[in-house]
Structure 1
Amino acid sequence: MKRLGIGILSLLILFSGCVSDEENNQIIFDRDLQKIEDYLSENPIASVKELEDPATGIRILWQEVSESGKSPVALDTIVVDYVGKLLNNSVFDTSIESVARAKNIFNPNRTYEPLQFLFGTGDIIPGFEFAIFKMEEGDKATVIMPSLYGYGSFEQGGIPKNSPLIFELDLIQIKGVVEDEVLD
């Protein structure tokens, strides 16, 4: 009986070795898409505009559209308030002190202020940057992304690996790149 158990275990290891990382990523991606679909059916988000990108599975639901016409380009400084949540609606991070206090994640050693980052440099997770790319200055939107466009297979703080993420974004300002004056 013990040999049978070892034989079955050996076969499982052999077959699991035949599944490529790409196939595993596809399974995780498909599972994430289903979780996102389930979340949205159980937690409808009011929106005035929506985008679902089939290639990435990222969904953006605008609560406010500014029509400012000011979109980010590479190396612009982005100023954005955000609330990051898991699909169980637990908040894991925010730039807003009142939200941090209300959700019992307040850290007195942290400064709560809008996040500022250079756009297009890869300093933030891909799904967050993708959403900012689709927004205009003054827009407010909720973005929901598969784990691949968040932290993927890595645990990050209170975020379990392979977790689809939700970000509520308020794109406060886009500061354009200042060009150097040409000296004559």
Structure 2
Amino acid sequence: MNSRLFAFFLLLVGAISVVSCIDPDQTQEVILERDKEAIEKYLQANPITSVKQYSEPIEGFYMFWQVSAKPERNALLRGDTVRVNYTGRTLDKRVFDSSIEQVAKDNGIFVSTRNYQPLKFPVGLGFTITGFEFAISMMHPGEKATVIFPSRLGYGSQANGTIPANSPLIFELDLIDVKKGPNSNP
């Protein structure tokens, strides 16, 4: 009986310890609301010219097409391979990555050993962050768009290189082409 009581006591103390370590200013809901406010403020100060738009304000996701193309085929399917040029920025307009060599040089992030070329990856298999992949899934070859999304669709509470934790992200995307995968019907 004493061992059960002792185990229950340890479990209770452990649960209280975990709950007391949670910072109420860092809950997912609070972070999302803070991200959405920052994104709205950014968009008010930096309007993005577009030929079409898509938004989900509740999620904090905004997409603006600078070039729109008529779809040649059906929408992207899981396993289709895309090639996309991109430039990633934080809301303070700092470039943290680009597949374009000149953009990397112009923003002081050039790495001489890197092979600058379009990113190539299969859609729907988790090779990129959620917001990036969702934006690509809404595009057709030849389209260019700017997408802005909250940190939970990016790197979340984890810092990544020069990107601070809980950072909303902006990507300029240029979908070059799509190679249909095994889920496509000819």
- TM-score, L = length of structure 1: 0.84
Whether 2:90 is the aligned partner of 1:53: answer no
Q: Deviations over 1:131-157 (max 9, x none)?
A: 011111111000001000000000101
Alignment partners' CA distance in 2, 1:20 and 1:119: 36
Q: Amino acid of the residue matched to residue 38 of structure 1?
A: K
2:38 corresponds in structure 1 to: 35
2:115 corresponds in structure 1 to: 111
1:169 corresponds in structure 2 to: 173
1:140 corresponds in structure 2 to: 144
Q: Secondary structure at the match of 2:142?
A: coil
Q: Secondary structure at the match of 1:157?
A: coil
Alignment partners' CA distance in 2, 1:76 and 1:55: 29
- TM-score, L = length of structure 2: 0.83
- Distance verdict in 2 for CA 1:25–1:68, change over 3 Å: same
1:77 corresponds in structure 2 to: 81
Alignment partners' CA distance in 1, 2:27 and 2:172: 29
Identical columns (%): 47
Structure 2 unmatched runs, 5+: 1-15
Q: Deviations over 1:27-55 (max 9, x none)?
A: 00000000000001111111111111245
Q: How far does residue 20 in structure 1 lie from its aligned partner after superposition? A: 8.4
1:122 corresponds in structure 2 to: 126
Query: Residues 51 and 65 of structure 2 are in contact (CA less than 8 Å); yes or no, is this contact kept in structure 1?
Result: yes
Q: Secondary structure at the match of 1:72?
A: coil
Alignment partners' CA distance in 2, 1:102 and 1:54: 32
Alignment partners' CA distance in 1, 2:103 and 2:91: 17
Q: Amino acid of the residue matched to residue 27 of structure 1?
A: V
2:27 corresponds in structure 1 to: 24
Q: Amino acid of the residue matched to residue 44 of structure 1?
A: P
Query: Residues 68 and 138 of structure 1 are in contact (CA less than 8 Å); yes or no, is this contact kept in structure 2?
Result: no
**How many residue pairs are counted as aligned between the two chains?**
166
Q: How far does residue 68 in structure 1 lie from its aligned partner after superposition? A: 2.5
2:68 corresponds in structure 1 to: 65
- Distance verdict in 2 for CA 1:27–1:178, change over 3 Å: closer
Runs of 4+ that moved beyond 4 A = 18-21
Cα RMSD, aligned residues only: 2.2
Alignment partners' CA distance in 2, 1:173 and 1:25: 35
Q: Amino acid of the residue matched to residue 58 of structure 1?
A: F
Q: Amino acid of the residue matched to residue 164 of structure 1?
A: P
**Greater mean alpha carbon deviation, residues 45-54 or residues 117-126:** 45-54
